[in-house]
Structure 1
Amino acid sequence: MTYKIKVSGAGALASLAALAALGWAAQAVQGLLGGRTLVFALITGAVLGLVLQRSRFCFYCHARDWFEDRNPRGLLAIVLALAVGVVGYTVVLGNWVPVPQPGKLPPDMHVGPVSSVLVAAGLSFGTGMVVSGSCISAHWYRLAEGATVSPFALAGSALGFILGFKTWNPLYSLSVADAPVVWLPAHLGYGGALLVQLGGLAMVAAWLWRGFAQEATASSAPGAVPAVPRLRAVWRNLWTGRWHYWVGGLVVGLIGAFAIVRMRPLGVTATLGSAARQWAQGQGWIPGRLDGLDGFAGCATVPQATWVTPNAMLLVGLVAGAFVAATASCQFVPRWPTWLDAVRGLSGGVFLGWGAMTGLGCTIGTLLSGGMAGALSGWVFGLSVFFAVWAGLQIKRLWLSGGPQQR
């Protein structure tokens, strides 16, 4: 049974007030531990969650729309987010590391090793997206919509992290230990890296745009002049339907670039991975020593002395901001989960968690933050993810149609 719950504007404002109170408490209680950074992370997460929910920004959904329906809007939004972030990161990192050199990486940026293990991690993560129906970041904001698969997917991701910790040491010895860590500005300079990355994104955008411009031109009435809407209509439209794809891409890119000024790069798996690691080590399920893991940049999974961390506050803000958006737009639709929901979520989550742990992040941490920083690992992970989504959708289509047609 599905319940559609309508919450008034006053209810949304009450949720915002509760979020503000939480931010004030974080600053007051953790004043000696970087309270302002915690508040910044909370606000950043809230804005991110609101934008993700209203624009339906989801790496899997955007890829699926293209592979199944040839709708390029979502993938163009991802390209836009990456392009905006690449420019923003270049400006910021140019001040931090004026002369990029091989072997000298910018602090805390998600620049990881490039190896066959990274490709396997991307393939696993993409498979998990197909099975569970979302990436991890989308599962976080869909919690606020009452999605039934998302809680199971996040629980499955924790199990996947544990499996990743168990397999890490042999994989590290096999491939990761000697893998190159490639930061493009160190080899091409900031200008060269910016040119290569924006050029590649421009070619992808041009390829996706084929036929899209003609569709947009045909659908617009010749000579029509759009009327200027009233402020009340603008406010109402914010909570009706969905925001334009490009709005989500633009804001996500800006948030990714601005976030590094006050905290670590965006990532949505560090807290979940840290909790899974601490619990599994307490149970004796995983090795106490994970070779080289904590020396790599990415979504760190080091057990924390306190769970009031910037990443945890980012997640709290993300879910809270998405809840405000979902309730204000009447998209909070909880229902009882089915066994299929549980199986899809848990099984897909295991693939997501193993891929995120082994790849040192997910589509937000490794692809988005890594790609923006000029990490070759981010682009390799992204290509692997999208290839897995394409292959998974092909297999799913054949399975649902009863197998390939016999001639």
Structure 2
Amino acid sequence: MANFLSESSSLDRAAPSPTTNLLQRSIGILSLAALLAGAYGLHTTPGHGAAASLALLLGGALGIAFECGRFCFFCIFRDLIERRQAGPLYAILTALAISGIGYAIVFGAFLPNPASGRLAPDAHIGPVSPALALAGLVFGLGMALSGACISGHLYRLGEGSGYALPALVGSLLGFGLGLRTWNWLYVTLITDAPVIWLPNLIGYGGSLIVHLLVLGIIALGLLRWLAPLAEQPACTVTPAYLRTVLLERRWNPLVTGAIVGIISVVAYLRIEPLGVTSQLGSLSRTVLHNYSLLPDRLNGLDSFAGCATQVVQTITTNGWLIGGLVTGSFGAALLAGRFRPSIPRRSGSLAALTGGILMGWGAIIALGCTVGTLLSGIGAFALSGWVFGITVFAGVWIGIALRLYRWL
């Protein structure tokens, strides 16, 4: 039985190859070199600067971590629900723990006195409303139907997944649907909803203690679903062994989670909170705006932080992060021999498209997805992050019980 450090997701499309094709490895190295060169070029190009350059690099690191660690929220949740394998979930718990510690330090510099009632600037802190719970439930159902979350489809796009593209196209359509229904939901369910940020109530120290305590209780509760550690035989460290450990084997969930958590903190400190829907949502908003398909005013939407959308005519910082994520995943998949282009079935494409629409709608209403509202929100001590995370998990559970993924 595989142990906690090497469990593979039930949705991994192909087992890592023991050797990788020379051509694939060469292209993988070139793609990662191109990412570095692109970041240097952005840094020296007027109008882009250090923020875009750093976003591209952080996106690349995130793509590598997601691909090598199989950091897909749906895969992790499905392993827990269907197979009672809790190991992969520790990647999320570790990322939340690391980001919570880092956020507490950064918040202290940005806003020394949280008791003033102000919110940390630009952090994923949203209103807690029935609309948020509904958005999380719908988002979770979309994950189960499409086979991954939005960030999961982005890194699988780098692996050549045939279902990633229809799911992402569906997300763009869902963003538009969310924007079209926003005003009614805002007036009906969101306008009077409280925005609850724990540091306003119990300070940074108290918030961090509660944060780590809750994560610790969850981690302890899941210990019974951890497979026993397998004895590792002694071996000689060679280049082939390092390639196998670093690229071909699934990364230790604790390592993957720590890397994701550190990236989340650095992103907030130097650029903006980590998220993967702002540029995509802005693309949908821009198209609808240009064709006069949106109301003249989206009530309250632009007043909230998170994965905010806007009418844009260029690539935003978030767009560079997404580009880096896909490129990093592409390079890692090629180096590990996991780049396997696939042609999707018609029924699977329709399921992925429909699931993407559900996720896009949920992401607009929740002001972000599993990376933004869940990961960055919980890390920022926002109650909205926990509400979204719990309802997303419930949506995935329902979707798995209904076997929605059978269409893939």
Give TM-score scaled by structure 1 length: 0.91
Residue 378, structure 1, aligned to residue 394, structure 2: no
Aligned to 2:50: 36
Residue 342, structure 1, aligned to residue 354, structure 2: no
Q: Which of 341, 356, 360 matches 2:363?
A: 356
Aligned to 1:404: none
Equivalent position SS for 2:159: coil
Q: Which amino acid aligns with 1:287?
A: P
Deviation digits for residues 240-275 of structure 1 (CA, Å, limit 9, x no counterpart):
232122221111111111111210010100000000
2:346, 2:370 → 1: CA distance? 27
1:64, 1:258 → 2: CA distance? 29
Q: Which of 182, 185, 193 matches 2:207?
A: 193
Q: Which of 306, 310, 314 matches 1:298?
A: 306
**How far did 1:298 drift?**
0.8
**How far did 1:303 drift?**
1.1
Q: Which amino acid aligns with 1:16?
A: L
Equivalent position SS for 1:210: helix
Aligned to 1:403: none
Residue 116, structure 1, aligned to residue 130, structure 2: yes
1:380, 1:372 → 2: CA distance? 13
2:225, 2:139 → 1: CA distance? 30
**How far did 1:22 drift?**
1.7
2:336, 2:392 → 1: CA distance? 31
Aligned to 2:283: 275
Q: Which amino acid aligns with 2:256?
A: G
Residues 47 and 211 of structure 1: is their aligned pair in 2 closer, same or farther, counting only changes over 3 Å?
closer
Superposed CA RMSD: 2.0
Q: Which amino acid aligns with 1:251?
A: I
1:236, 1:56 → 2: CA distance? 15
1:150, 1:262 → 2: CA distance? 30
1:306, 1:122 → 2: CA distance? 30
Q: Which of 27, 44, 48 matches 2:43?
A: 27
Deviation digits for residues 23-64 of structure 1 (CA, Å, limit 9, x no counterpart):
2222233x3x35111111000000100110011001100000
Residue 165, structure 1, aligned to residue 179, structure 2: yes
Q: Which of 305, 312, 320 matches 1:313?
A: 320
Residue 67, structure 1, aligned to residue 81, structure 2: yes
1:319, 1:243 → 2: CA distance? 18
Map 1:3-18 → 2, pairs under 5 A: 6=21, 7-18=23-34
Q: Which of 288, 298, 301 matches 2:296?
A: 288
1:8, 1:274 → 2: CA distance? 34
**How far did 1:231 drift?**
4.9
8 Å contact 2:289–2:311 — kept in the other structure?
no
Deviation digits for residues 83-125 of structure 1 (CA, Å, limit 9, x no counterpart):
1110111111111111102530111111000000000000010
**How far did 1:388 drift?**
0.9
**How far did 1:227 drift?**
4.6
Aligned to 1:240: 248
Residue 207, structure 1, aligned to residue 207, structure 2: no
1:87, 1:305 → 2: CA distance? 36
**How far did 1:335 drift?**
2.2
Map 1:222-261 → 2, pairs under 5 A: 226-227=234-235, 229-261=237-269
Q: Which shows bigger deviation, 187-196 or 203-212?
A: 203-212
2:154, 2:54 → 1: CA distance? 19
Equivalent position SS for 1:254: helix
Structure 2 unpaired stretches of 5+: 1-12
Q: Which amino acid aligns with 1:139?
A: H
Q: Which amino acid aligns with 2:318?
A: N
**How far did 1:225 drift?**
7.2
**How far did 1:152 drift?**
0.4
Equivalent position SS for 1:317: helix
| Alignment coverage as a number of residue pairs | 389
Map 1:85-164 → 2, pairs under 5 A: 85-101=99-115, 103-164=117-178
Aligned to 2:6: none
Deviation digits for residues 211-256 of structure 1 (CA, Å, limit 9, x no counterpart):
52xx415x43xxx774563355223432223212222111111111
Aligned to 2:7: none
8 Å contact 1:136–1:352 — kept in the other structure?
yes
Deviation digits for residues 121-167 of structure 1 (CA, Å, limit 9, x no counterpart):
00010000000000000100111111011100011011111111111
Give TM-score scaled by structure 2 length: 0.91
Q: Which amino acid aligns with 1:105?
A: L
Aligned to 2:64: 50
Deviation digits for residues 301-345 of structure 1 (CA, Å, limit 9, x no counterpart):
0112422x2101101100000000011111111122221232011
Residue 216, structure 1, aligned to residue 224, structure 2: no
Rg larger for: 1
